[in-house]
Amino acid sequence: MTALAFDRHNHDRCIAGALKRAETHCGARRLQFTATRRRVLEILLQEHRAMGAYDILAVLSSEGLGSQPPAAYRALDFLVREGLAHRIEGLNAYAACALPVHGPGHGPEHGQEDASDHGHVPAFLICRGCKAVAETETGLAQGRLGAAAREAGFSVERVVVEAEGLCPGCAGAGA
Amino acid sequence: MTALAFDRHNHDRCIAGALKRAETHCGARRLQFTATRRRVLEILLQEHRAMGAYDILAVLSSEGLGSQPPAAYRALDFLVREGLAHRIEGLNAYAACALPVHGPGHGPEHGQEDASDHGHVPAFLICRGCKAVAETETGLAQGRLGAAAREAGFSVERVVVEAEGLCPGCAGAGA
DNA sequence: CGGATATATGTAATGTTATAACATATCAAC
DNA sequence: GTTGATATGTTATAACATTACATATATCCG
Ligand SMILES: [Zn+2]
Ligand SMILES: [Zn+2]
Ligand SMILES: [Zn+2]
Ligand SMILES: [Zn+2]
């Protein structure tokens, strides 16, 4: 599992791939990948960073795609629901999904999903220097959290794993 | 590691112990465990649940301990800084620390602490039914997150692990 | 096609969470 | 008791998010 955001990579291709996957995902489920939803995903994909809903709204507003908070929140809710973006709880912000695998299979779109069934929990490395967000995955069942949950008879439906720290670049720059 | 919040236990003793530890902790560091700070910790200890800053403020206000948001936020900031309480990111809320070990040694009071040095990352099981919050611990280094961070050259300073789901009681009640 | 149903968007208002800035008070050390 | 650090009071505002209801657009089916 490589943390894409901190590596040099062909980001244009990265963006194009994510958009293509989103189209495919929506097409397969008869979901409307509307102009606003698509544009919000594009905005999030622009950089590997989390953006606040109001930052996104500002862009939408400047482009005539909506001027009130619900325009942004509705699109974000859709993207998060479909696994095409993630909410970063520690920042009250949103980031595009950077892992091909999440889109068509690991969002909450399955309804009453139990996260302990499989180990695919998205996890984030958040740089406090440059605000970059790298996405990776973490196991749940194998770790101590899963053990504690089983022991307590607690059924896990959703897991948030976020690590804040410094990326290689910012650590080198002496933060 | 038992998830205290979901077990029957002597909660009065649980509260008294936490307060005692807080006193000791503050005494040892010449920190002022003021009336407001103590009261906020007591409020959080009342139940094993997370409370919003404004819920706490309402209590403080009714008791003449402050009526404006900073009264609550300052006390909460202190408690979190000292490891006596935790912020639950997924709820924008706060819960008293339920683990003796966290108080005097695992908060951010060490300054530039690197969470990967030791494996003591607090983790929370949050019931969406009754809103109870059980605290446990999870390893960082042994899991895939630690591996991904090392591979990326990312230095982890803080980790948020929160699992949302249903506690045994609420699952039984057919939620 | 045309009407019915579901989905998406527009718009206004409001609710919730959190911080900035500056004055005053209290504490702790010398 | 003066001094410097810490804590609190107070006002205002910033940042994040939702409710409610009206309107528009898409999708389905006969
Ligand atoms: Zn990229
Ligand atoms: Zn960085
Ligand atoms: Zn207890
Ligand atoms: Zn419960």
Q: Catalogue all structural domains in chain A, each as residue range(s) with its CATH number.
A: 4-172 (1.10.10.10)
pLDDT at A116: 42
Tens of pLDDT, residue by residue over A116-138, are 444 578 999 999 988 899 999 88
Task: Report protein residues in contact with nucleic acid strand C, where contact means CB under 7 Å.
Answer: A 31-32, 34-37, 65-71, 74-75, 78; B 30, 32, 52-54, 68-70, 73, 77, 92-93
Tens of pLDDT, residue by residue over B12-28, are 999 999 999 999 999 99
Tens of pLDDT, residue by residue over B44-62, are 999 999 999 999 999 999 9
Q: How is residue A60 written in tokens?
A: 């939408």
pLDDT at A108: 42
Contact flag, residue B75 CB and nucleic strand D, below 7 A: yes
Residues in Cβ contact with B88 at an 8 Å cutoff, skipping those fewer than 6 apart: B50, B94, B95, B124, B126, B133, B162
Average pLDDT, chain B: 87
Inter-chain contact B6–A152, Cβ cutoff 8 Å? yes
Query: Contact at 8 Å (CB) between A40 and A75?
Result: yes
Q: How confident is the model at residue A101 (pLDDT cuts 50, 70, 90)?
A: low
For the segment A97-106, the average pLDDT, to the nearest whole number, is 63
pLDDT at A128: 92
Residues in Cβ contact with A17 at an 8 Å cutoff, skipping those fewer than 6 apart: A100
Whether the pTM exceeds 0.85: the reply is yes
The single residue listed with the structure tokens 């995955």 is: A137
